[in-house]
Structure 1
Amino acid sequence: MCDNFDGFNAPFCSPVQGQQIQVGRTIEVTWDPRFFNSTETPSIFVQADFGIPAAGGGEAVLGNKGFTSPLIPVRLGRFTWNIIPDYLIPNQNNILVPTQARLFLGEPSEINITTRGNRILGPRVELLPSGNTNNFVGNNNNNGGNIANPGTASGNTNTPAAAPLSNPIAIALPITFGILTLCFLGFCVWFRRRHPDFGRGFIQACLGRRWRRRQRWPREGPRGGAVGGAAGGFTAGRSKSQRIRHQDIKVVTTDMNGLRMNAMAMNGDRDRNVFREEMKRQDRGRF
């Protein structure tokens, strides 16, 4: 809260005397509301007269430019002022140069409330061109015209320009894709739990017939072969389907007890080795 009822530059608290402000900046003009009689002066103007500083830093030679704000309630005690390039005054070469601004608080006229009456002198500040300011006259029309007098300038409400809106599509697309991706992953997890065998046929088709055969005929352990016991013979620890020279062959098991019985039954023929003939016959059956 501003507290400058009877001090230097009363009732102003800011800006301070001699403050330098660059074009494009925003400052707060504040005053002490107790300075005014709220009954007689409920509203005031913030005003500024612009001029080129005199040699030696003295009072500026006032030009034909000025600024007047809209009516402001006295009790508010503050006004936001945007410094725009239109406030600067050109020199003889039509180049914008530092400009002095003398601030006032203007009381409305008793006859016409929109016309200034008494003015209360305030601080003197210096407005400086900024690096982003086009310093040539004729390119600064932020007010829509020249600030020639308080009446012309009063249309400038000094409302800060709205910041450009960010692109809504650039914000919405990543969010949408993220939500869709999460939904898709959730559906995949749910579907996999409900259908655990889905896609197995496709995997088998990709891996080929060999993989399918091994899935269909599980490998046998040493005790599960055709020839039991630890010495399971040819088929111990192997699959039913064997491959020799990249060709499938059929595994034929040998019944040793049957061979002995056949040998005993045909033992009448002393000249023939029945056991050996049977072994040869079964060997031929393997290939």
Structure 2
Amino acid sequence: MCENADAGNGPFCSPKDGAQIQVGKTIDVIWNPAFFNSSFNNVAMIQVQADFLTRPDDGNKGGADGFTSRMLDASSGRFAWTVLAEYLGSTRAGAARPAQLFISQPAINVANTGGDGDGNDDSGRNGDGGMPMDGSSQTRIPGPRVQLIGPSSGGGGSMLNPLIIALPIALGVLALGLLVAFLVFRRRNPGRMGQLFSCGRKRDGYGERKSRTQRLRGLEIRMVDNNASTRMGTIPALGNADRNIFREEVRRQDYVRR
């Protein structure tokens, strides 16, 4: 409940003095309804106004460059204000502009407004509400001074920059995780790793998963008696284990010399 009637910036409760408001946002302008019952002799209708200042030291001045709301019920205590980008007066990055808020009790010309003030704007302001057409005076109560600021710098690039930074980090973490998983698996299953790496090799090589019978299948092995050593006059290597080889060699040489 807004009860800021006589304090600083009264009867405004929100926004606070010095608040930064980004264009494109909608904020609630909140005031204390009781303020108008006591100070304005039961005022029923008011308007919220904003003067867009060119310099921070312009002060509480009126002017054509500003915003005026439609006629509002003073007892509602709230107005939703959409801050348009055109209020800044600049499209450059980092643009900002101070704005002085007011609550106004305009002198309504009922014959020209239809009773609500809509469509009756002869002030040159950028707004959708009414101001007096007959030049009669109005009472304006100054409120907080806020700062209108542009959107986040870089627009779409501001979303891309964090992605450019985060993507390599994410890929690096993923690669590190895969490496750790590989090393853990290799340590716990050393035999399994060999099977995984050999799964693509040819499995019909010599002796691969074959028994002796399978390896010799279709082959015929013949035993051949080779007497070449006898024909050459040499002594067969096989014989009795207790014979004297040296003596036999001496005899063979004597036989050859004869």
TM over 0.5: no
TM-score range, shorter chain: 0.3 to 0.5
TM-score, normalising length from structure 2? 0.44
Taking CA–CA contacts closer than 8 Å with sequence separation of 6 or more, which of the two structures ends up with the larger relative contact order?
2
Q: Answer 1 or 2: which has greater strand percent.
A: 1
TM-score, normalising length from structure 1? 0.40
